[in-house]
Amino acid sequence: MFPTPIQNWNSRSKFIYFTLVMFTLVAWLLPLVIITLASFMTADQLNSGGRGLNLPSPLSIDGWITAINNEDFRKSFLNSFIIVTPVVIISIGLATMAGFALSKYKFRGQLLIFAIFIGGNFVPFQILMVPVLRLTQDLGIYNTKWALIMFHGAFQTGFCVFFMRNFIAQLPNELIEAARVEGASEWQIFYRIIIPLVKPAIAALSVLIFTFVWNDFFWSLVLTPASPDGMLAPAGLSNIIRGRFYNAWNVMAAGSLLVALPPVAMFFVLQKQFIAGLTLGANKG
Amino acid sequence: MFLLPAMVYFFILVIYPIFGSFWVSFHAWNGTTFQCSDGRSLKDLGAEEICRRIPKMTWVGLENYERFFEKSPRDLERLKDFWMSWLKGEAPRFPRLSVETKVLLNNIIWLALFPLSIPMGLAFALLLNQSPTWVRLTKSLFFFPFVLSPAVIGFVFQYFYDPNGPLEGIYNYLGWGSGIIGDQSKATYGIIVAGWYPQVAYCMIIYLAGLTAIEPEQVEAARLDGAKGFTLLYKIILPQLWPATFIALVVTMIGALRSFDLVQVMTGGGPGRGSSDVLARYMYQKTLFDQDYGYGATLAVILFLIMLVFISIFIKQIISRESGR
């Protein structure tokens, strides 16, 4: 193991190590601590030079209440949940099928198709912007949740295919061969054998896709700019909260923390799945 | 059969639009005028008639691209003069540049500085690659900024950088009255530091995963040969971490070019015209606010072509791995 495990260190080094880690951690989280403090301050304190690393005095939850009481902002939260769910189902469903086809069948152009899915993942959103915007206008879903569901569903499918193909490729071929010999149809193989085996991958992907889509800002600004019925929470924060409470930093701070809360909570609960998803492919060349 | 639905869906919404943008970039279009698909004007349509509306765009060839690079030679000359006199030890004023040049320059600064999150992430990973329970808890606290929305991080740092905020004392000491992101020459750097926040966390987690995969025998053998500390890190550990480094590098470079959210939230490209703007955000503004769809698409194409370099490197790596199996 590298570096040397601290169990083998002398106690002085252990103490230095502990101090160093704690010091780094405090410095690392400082911006978040400061914004949390700000969310509990009154507007008076914030405007009279209290914006530094000060304790809120008096302690106030006005910022939180104002942010939560804003109906449009609440709506944007609800939108986020409504939009994320179908996106997770669509993209993982389609990608599991495609990943199965790309890893367990052999046909011409296989690698090319896989490469296109991967490449599509990394293109800048800006090059898709004008045509996707036009498409949603033509379909009459511009400024609605459907626009975001449709686009994110497709875009996240690319990432999921990349992930699923690599995951399914590691499953043993013998299982599939054996089922085929016993006369199972390809759909039966998919349902009975593949789906149960990829459950860990589905869990890891769901957590990741939830976070990616929850945090989307660009597409919400482009596809649902004028609609509290369609926009996602980060756009709600920027368009609604900042628009109405400009310079009210306690409201802004509380709003930011509210938007951050769901993915953070999800991360702490499902940490294992999250990190497994993120680090796939990081240790093999 | 299994592949078709994903392929069709992905091609319509991701692959086809790439070509669509190329097509629009050779046109002038304000995003609001339309005509019938058979060429008639919408006004000539009878009251009961309907027709398929398509954009009424004018073909301009490469004009949009010429417009983008129009001022480049002049600005390059100015920048050259600036650096020459700076090298001579004078204190020249930074030259006035066109917005396009500033945007490109800022993208280059992002590409140069954003990857510093990789060594920082490695340093964190080495610091935290220990097994006691309290260290493992600490790891999640170091990592969780990664799951924050970039828009949230933008607000957090906007507050953090506020001229009357936590850094006020430092600003007073340095004489930076308008703070970091309120100053034309410093704004980009301030935003990049905010961008490091989630990216360092990401690189850290990638390296932690890489460190667990290192073969203990090799490390022990090297230790017996007397290798220690940095020598061991440099000679044995880093080469074995190459797959992690490669992924971190590609993701970070692409992330650097993708930077939109932070710039939009923290400065909106300003202060002034384009002092902290990048292609990704300038394109958004040109298209939707200045209603210059053709030029916006051109900016997107230029960004795409720069990014294609990194995308192809990544795809090439993956394909060579596949065929080596």
What is B255-322 written as a DSSP string?
Answer: HHHH--HHHHHHTTT-STTTTT--HHHHHHHHHHTS--HHHHHHHHHHHHHHHHHHHHHHHHHHHHHH
pLDDT band at B82 (very low <50, low <70, confident <90, very high): confident
How distant is the Cα of B152 from the closest Cα of chain A, in angstroms? 5
Q: Looking at the predicted structure, is the pLDDT value of residue B316 above 60?
A: yes
Is the CB of A43 inside 8 Å of chain B's CB atoms?
no
Instruction: Tell if the CB–CB gap between B129 and A2 is shorter than 8 Å.
Output: yes
How distant is the Cα of A74 from the closest Cα of chain B, in angstroms? 16
Task: Summarize the confidence of residues B192-214 as an average pLDDT.
Answer: 91
Interface of A with B in 54-93 (CB under 8 A): none
Closest chain B residue to A213 measured between Cα atoms?
B149
Closest chain B residue to A159 measured between Cα atoms?
B10
- pLDDT tens-digit series, residues A6-35: 777 888 888 898 999 999 999 999 999 988
| Residues whose CB falls within 8 Å of the CB of residue A78, separated by 6 or more in sequence, listed in order | none
Closest chain A residue to B127 measured between Cα atoms?
A21
Chain A hits for B16, Cβ within 8 Å: 131
Tokens 């020598």, residue located: B231
User: How many residues are recorded in chain A?
Assistant: 285
Q: What is the pLDDT of residue B55?
A: 77
- Amino acid identity for residue B110 in this structure: W
- DSSP label at B49? -
What distances in angstroms separate CA A262 from CA A37, A71, A213, A266, B247, one per listed residue?
20, 18, 12, 6, 27
Instruction: Tell if the CB–CB gap between A256 and B155 is shorter than 8 Å.
Output: yes
**SS3 assignment, position A13:** helix
Q: Looking at the predicted structure, is the pLDDT value of residue A235 above 60?
A: yes
Instruction: Tell if the CB–CB gap between A150 and B13 is shorter than 8 Å.
Output: yes
**Max alpha carbon distance in chain A (Å)?**
78
- What the block records as the tokens of B26 is 């050779």
- Residue in A24, A31, A217 closest to B127 by CB: A24
Structural domain range at position B281: 77-291
Cα dihedral value A50, A54, A56, A58, nearest 10? -70
Is the CB of A25 inside 8 Å of chain B's CB atoms?
yes
A228, A72 Cβ separation under 8 angstroms: yes
How distant is the Cα of A78 from the closest Cα of chain B, in angstroms? 16
- Residue in B10, B151, B300 closest to A117 by CB: B10
pTM recorded for the entire structure: 0.89
Q: Looking at the predicted structure, is the pLDDT value of residue A220 above 70?
A: yes
- Amino acid identity for residue B96 in this structure: R
CA distance B154 to B44: 49
B54, B87 Cβ separation under 8 angstroms: no
Task: Summarize the confidence of residues B180-195 as an average pLDDT.
Answer: 88
**SS3 assignment, position B34:** strand
Residue B281 lies in a domain: yes
Is the CB of A136 inside 8 Å of chain B's CB atoms?
no
Is the CB of A51 inside 8 Å of chain B's CB atoms?
yes
Q: Looking at the predicted structure, is the pLDDT value of residue B81 above 50?
A: yes
Chain A hits for B2, Cβ within 8 Å: 97-98, 100-101, 186, 190
Task: Give percent of chain B with pLDDT exceeding 70.
Answer: 95
Q: What is the number of helices (H) and of strands (E) in chain B?
A: 17, 4
Chain B hits for A237, Cβ within 8 Å: 151-152, 155
Axis-axis angle for helices A271-278, A249-269 (nearest 10): 90
A145, A83 Cβ separation under 8 angstroms: yes
- Residue in A127, A252, A285 closest to B301 by CB: A127
Q: What is the pLDDT of residue A257?
A: 92
Chain A hits for B141, Cβ within 8 Å: 25, 28-29
Give CA angle at A38 (A35, A39), nearest 5°. Answer: 90
Q: What is the pLDDT of residue B256?
A: 92
Closest CA to A194 of A60, A84, A78, A104: A104
Buried b (16+ CB within 10 A) or exposed e, A59-97: ebebbbebbeebebbbbbbebbeebbebbbebbbbbbbb
pLDDT band at B152 (very low <50, low <70, confident <90, very high): very high
Is the CB of A249 inside 8 Å of chain B's CB atoms?
yes
Instruction: Tell if the CB–CB gap between B300 and A124 is shorter than 8 Å.
Output: yes
Instruction: Tell if the CB–CB gap between A130 and B24 is shorter than 8 Å.
Output: yes
Q: Looking at the predicted structure, is the pLDDT value of residue A195 above 70?
A: yes
Instruction: Tell if the CB–CB gap between B213 and A5 is shorter than 8 Å.
Output: no
As a three-state string, the secondary structure of A140-185 is CCCCCHHHHHHHHHHHHHHHHHHHHHHHHHCCCHHHHHHHHHCCCC
- Residue in B150, B247, B300 closest to A215 by CB: B150
At the fourth CATH level, the homologous superfamily of domain A73-244 is MetI-like (1.10.3720.10)
Residue B55: strand pairing partners:
B34
Instruction: Tell if the CB–CB gap between A235 and B151 is shorter than 8 Å.
Output: yes
Q: What is the pLDDT of residue B168?
A: 79
A126 CB-side CA count, 13 A: 33
- What the block records as the tokens of A145 is 């949740």
Domain ranges of chain A: 6-65, 73-244
Residue A57: left (phi > 0), alpha (psi -120 to 50), or beta? beta
Q: CATH number of the domain at B107, please.
A: 1.10.3720.10
Chain B hits for A161, Cβ within 8 Å: 6, 10
Q: Looking at the predicted structure, is the pLDDT value of residue B131 above 60?
A: yes
Chain B hits for A94, Cβ within 8 Å: 5-6, 9
- pLDDT tens-digit series, residues A44-64: 787 777 677 777 778 888 889
Q: Looking at the predicted structure, is the pLDDT value of residue A274 above 70?
A: yes
Interface-testing mutation among A16, A90, A118, A130, with chain B (most B C-beta atoms within 10 A)? A130
Q: What is the pLDDT of residue A284?
A: 42
B182, B163 Cβ separation under 8 angstroms: yes
Q: What is the pLDDT of residue A283?
A: 46
Residue B55 lies in a domain: no
Q: What is the pLDDT of residue A285?
A: 34
Give CA angle at B243 (B242, B246), nearest 5°. Answer: 80
Mean pLDDT, chain B, rounded, equals 85
Q: Looking at the predicted structure, is the pLDDT value of residue B26 above 80?
A: yes
DSSP secondary structure string, B225-240?
A: TT--HHHHIIIIIHHH
Residue B166 lies in a domain: yes
Closest chain A residue to B252 measured between Cα atoms?
A122
Based on the structure, what is the number of domains in chain B? 1
pLDDT band at B117 (very low <50, low <70, confident <90, very high): very high
Task: Give percent of chain A with pLDDT exceeding 90.
Answer: 18
